[in-house]
Structure 1
Amino acid sequence: MISRFRHTHPGVALDLTEATTSQQLAALDEDRIDAGIVVLPLEPEVGLHIAQRRLLKSRMVAVLSADHPLAVAPGRSVPLAALAREPWILFPPTEGPGLYATIVNACVAAGFAPHVVQRATQMDTIIGLVAANLGVGLVPEALASTDMASVKFRRLTGPGTPVPYEVALVWRRKDPNPTVAALVDSCTGQEV
């Protein structure tokens, strides 16, 4: 999406900055950014002034240290309930409240509340902390293709699954900026 937009709009300067969903929504509210790419779902009140276009619909997978018993067991999947007694590495509820709630609700549907021992705002940090044997976590399925000897990724099965992972382009609903409109138009039909 971004490379295509840059190609079709070479005169537009895109300043890409990594930020959490909450940080991007605050920056939109304060007119510090024109658009963002965030993890869904958003809090209901956000929808009053923020428009969104879904770009990706996927699911979360478990990330386990390579020597974890569930990682060395036969098969490519684990029941979510099997992670009930594990220490968890999870997003802070303040930085990605929708994704946090999605994960916690999935765990509750599987019969447990996750015992969070460490919080991390970035997926690669969660993977690194799992690799250091600090706990287990959930990350988007697309990261399962990451070639890392220190962790294993497993599909989730059973109650509470699949755990959805969705990403969207967001912008101010009444923004008259034609560049924002062009960016939104460039995303039409681009959901993965």
Structure 2
Amino acid sequence: MQLATALSSPAEELHFGRAAVRLHMAQPPLSQSIKRLEAALGFPLFVRTQRRVELTPAGQVFLTEARRTLQQADESVGMARRAASEDLAEITVTFTSAALYRVLPAALRAHRERFPMVEIRLDERSTDAQLQGLLEGSIDVGFVTPPLKTASGLEVEVIDRDRFCLAVPRMSPLAKRNPVSLAELSNESFVLFPHVQGPSLHGQLMRACRQAGFVPRVRQEARQMHTILSLVAAEMGVALVPEGARSMRVDGVAMVPLEGMPDDLTWDLAMVWKPRSARRALVAFLQTVRSLRRS
């Protein structure tokens, strides 16, 4: 018999006899159980008269806390069962900002429809920080910008590939051009993501500019795509951004076609995970992402 039930029944019935009937037991064992509890606690839980019983102030507090403890215990059991279930597991997903305007939002919506009880924890991190978390086991899957410096023990799958375009202030003469050659940007200031956020892609962009005859003058760095475009709108410079960024529609920014970029230079998005620790819940999420991949 639960402690809260043993206390609440007499308190609600105001009579040990009726409480015993409600609990499907004899009255003497119920009365004796409560007396033993009071003796152990060192204070009375009930005020008894010939006609009725009622909780003392201390008894009321004790009953409230006992109910709360039991509720927390039930919740703990539910959480443990949920964690033990492969279908209802929690997965941790990390990402770079570029994933937010590409496949990730659609994947989260689709997976929530398929598995509404699955908890997905999200955390924005640089590519290098994601790789570290994956190797340490604190992350289930990451959305990163390849190529990767190292991926030992990790599975990498490209799920989206974008060509580059040029983001310029709307009042810039370049906003009316179609297209703009990369070589024409030698005198422009640039807004670019920091090297640490995507070392390989950052290096590829620098090489492409050098091949076009100039070293880009980076005036401002920013991690998030929306911040990059907002700085372009503020006329801090131009930016080399993926075509998918057109969907963001930041006021004061014009997206212009770009030519002169190497044919193999694309802004790729890949998901990366550790195959040896891939649980069923993670495999299901990977399948959801693949189902949304652009052809």
Which band: TM-score by shorter chain? 0.7 to 0.9
Aligned residue-pair number: 188
Which of 58, 61, 70 is residue 165 of structure 2 equivalent to? 61
Is the contact between residue 53 and residue 169 of structure 1 (CA under 8 Å) also seen in structure 2?
yes
Change (3 A) 1:88 1:57: same
Helix, strand or coil: the match of 1:187?
Answer: helix
Match for residue 33 of structure 2? Answer: none
1:148 to 250, 270, 275: 250
Taking structure 2 as the reference length, the TM-score comes to 0.59
By percentage of residues, which structure has more strand? Answer: 1
Match of 1:51 in 2: 155
**Structure 2: segments with no counterpart, 5+ residues:** 1-106
2:120 match: secondary structure: coil
Shift in Å, 1:126: 0.8
Partner of 1:170, secondary structure, is: strand
* Identity level (%): 33
Task: State the partner residue of 2:116.
Answer: 10
Shift of 1:64: 0.5
Larger Cα Rg: Structure 1 or Structure 2? 2
- Structure 1 vs Structure 2 CA RMSD: 1.9
Q: Distance in 1 between matches of 2:279 and 2:212?
A: 45
The structure, 1 or 2, with the larger RCO (C-alpha pairs under 8 Å, 6+ apart) is 1
Counterpart residue identity of residue 222, structure 2: A
Residues 4-153 of structure 1 correspond to what in structure 2 (within 5 A)? Answer: 4-43=110-149, 45-46=150-151, 48-71=152-175, 73=176, 75-153=177-255
Bigger helix fraction: 2
Alpha-carbon contact 2:229-2:250 (below 8 Å) kept: no
Unaligned runs of 5+ in 1: none
TM-score normalized with structure 1 length: 0.88
Give the 3-state SS of the residue equivalent to 1:98 in structure 2.
helix
